Amino acid sequence: MIGRSLTCAALVAGLSMLLCAPASAAGLRLGFTDLGTVQGDNPAERPLELQHLKATRATTVRLMYEWRDIEKAKPPSDAEARNPAWSGYDWSEVDATLRDIATAGVEPLVEVSRAPAWWEGAGRPAISPTAQTGTWRPDPAAFGRFMHAAASRYSGRYPDPLLPGRTLPRVSLWQAWNEPNLPNELTPQWTRAGSRYAPASPAHYKRLLNAAYTEIKRASPGATVIAAGTAPFGEPWPGGARMPPALFVRTLLCVDGRARPKARNCRRNPARFDILAHHPYPIGPPGRHAVNRDDVCIPDFAKLTKPLAVAVRAGNVFPKRRKPVWATEMSWDTNPPDPGGIEPLRQGRYAAGSMYVLWRQGVRALLWWNLRDDPGPNYRSTLQSGVFYRGATVALDTPKPSYTAFRFPFTAFNSRKRGALLWGIAPTRGAVTIQRQTGATWQNVKTVTPGAGRVFQTRLRSKRGDVLRATQAGEASIDARIF
């Protein structure tokens, strides 16, 4: 009897391990958005900025372009709209930025949003904070045609107009729109019939996404289409300015029910994308959950991945296969320089901690908002969340502790019963040594070998107050304190 029980327990444990394994079998892609410098007014600073990005060991840079900034006139025909060489398009800035990015050996992710005025829908109210330029019912077919032109131009086969004999760089990561659950990105969010509100933005966004997906794949079949990253918070009532992200995603995927999601039949009109994205800006430390049931902070990705899995099984998404999930924006500001920010060391530790919390939930990319701080002094409306303090020029920028957290992430979770769980991403595949601080010196306490994606994790008996770090080939990670 005891034997049978043990066998049963072993089987259950084994099965559990198998089921849990896929979620932690891969690494975590790291990257940055830096509108101010990578896409800023002084392109001379861009190459050095990209070197700073590479120095963090991040591999990806997210670029954000507005459709209305590139399309200077209304295309005379659908064919011209799909033509990347049409004279009404001004790609000069995009071309130049992508050339520098290709030279630096960084992978670009290009996000496009905001329609030109001529592609906004009927019934547009006056421009206001709740109905901003380029957000009102953008024409999905026109967006698709524009994305076709963009994906053709950056398919890796299009001749570079400035460098004869060469082609423009290839973009393989495309993101269709930004934060479509916010009224400053897509409007209207809700429609009202009598006293009742119905979600409007998810259905309209699905049309935009599907048009973009179809046209991008036609122009560049190997490209990856990422759904717009949803913003983390919404008003928790119908008709609010912002739609809560979990509600937005469920509606997009034709899934009802928060606790036990159930798919409606939307197989004839599935949402088309390769990767689902979200922006889990925090309200505290990396493990703190959102307060509202449909808001999504760092540890709340299950609110998105559960309905996503249900939608995949039901055929409500295309292609019908498991979708990776990415965090395409997130950050904490630091003080200095922002008086409303957190201490720089804490930002670094939070950054490493958030990488673990995201990775554990199956999130496969974290694109941090800002490589270098935005300029002050308007701290309330700018972000000082960079991993570099801003100098007078990029050359004078100086790294924060979060720079180390990106180069060599390492974090620890204490458990009195099982010891501290240590987690990190090693710079290379070789063995990692865990060290404990003793006075002014560091003593080796354990060696671990990283797995897939250079991720390592282990447990270690520790006591309160221990300070640990990981090292590899003489390079040290950000340290972690045991509490």
Nearest residue (CB) to another protein, 56 versus 384: 384
Nearest residue (CB) to another protein, 271 versus 330: 330
Query: How many C-beta atoms lie closer than 10 Å to residue 21's C-beta?
Result: 9
Residues facing 190 on adjacent strands: 199
Nearest residue (CB) to another protein, 143 versus 233: 233
Least distance CB 483 / another protein (angstroms): 4
Nearest residue (CB) to another protein, 140 versus 229: 229
Burial class (CB in 10 A: 0-12, 13-18, 19+), 2: exposed
Nearest residue (CB) to another protein, 71 versus 295: 295
The phi, psi pair for 356, rounded to 5°, reads: -65, -45
Least distance CB 459 / another protein (angstroms): 14
Rounded to whole angstroms, the Cα distance separating 59 from 454 reads: 14
Nearest residue (CB) to another protein, 22 versus 238: 238
217: alpha, beta or left? (left if phi > 0; alpha if psi -120 to 50): alpha
- Token match 């609110």: residue? 303
CB 462, CB 445: distance < 8 Å: no
Rounded to whole angstroms, the Cα distance separating 458 from 447 reads: 9
Going by C-alpha positions, the residue among 333, 455, 327 that lies closest to residue 387 is 333
Least distance CB 279 / another protein (angstroms): 8
The H-assigned helical ranges of 160-232 are: 201-219
Parallel, antiparallel, or unpaired: how do β-strands 432-438 and 467-472 relate?
Answer: antiparallel
Least distance CB 245 / another protein (angstroms): 11
Least distance CB 343 / another protein (angstroms): 7
Nearest residue (CB) to another protein, 225 versus 231: 231
- Token match 């630091």: residue? 334
Q: Which residues bind another protein (CB under 8 A)?
A: 179, 182, 184, 195, 231-233, 235-242, 281-292, 295, 299, 331-335, 338-343, 345-347, 349-350, 353, 357, 379-385, 411-414, 480-483
SS3 112: strand
- Token match 């289409």: residue? 225
From residue 284, alpha-carbon distances to 179, 288, 289, 354 in Å are 21, 6, 9, 11
Nearest residue (CB) to another protein, 241 versus 445: 241
Return the half-sphere exposure (C-beta side, CA atoms, 13 A cut-off) of residue 439. 1
Least distance CB 28 / another protein (angstroms): 17
- Token match 């590479």: residue? 54
Least distance CB 193 / another protein (angstroms): 14
Least distance CB 374 / another protein (angstroms): 9
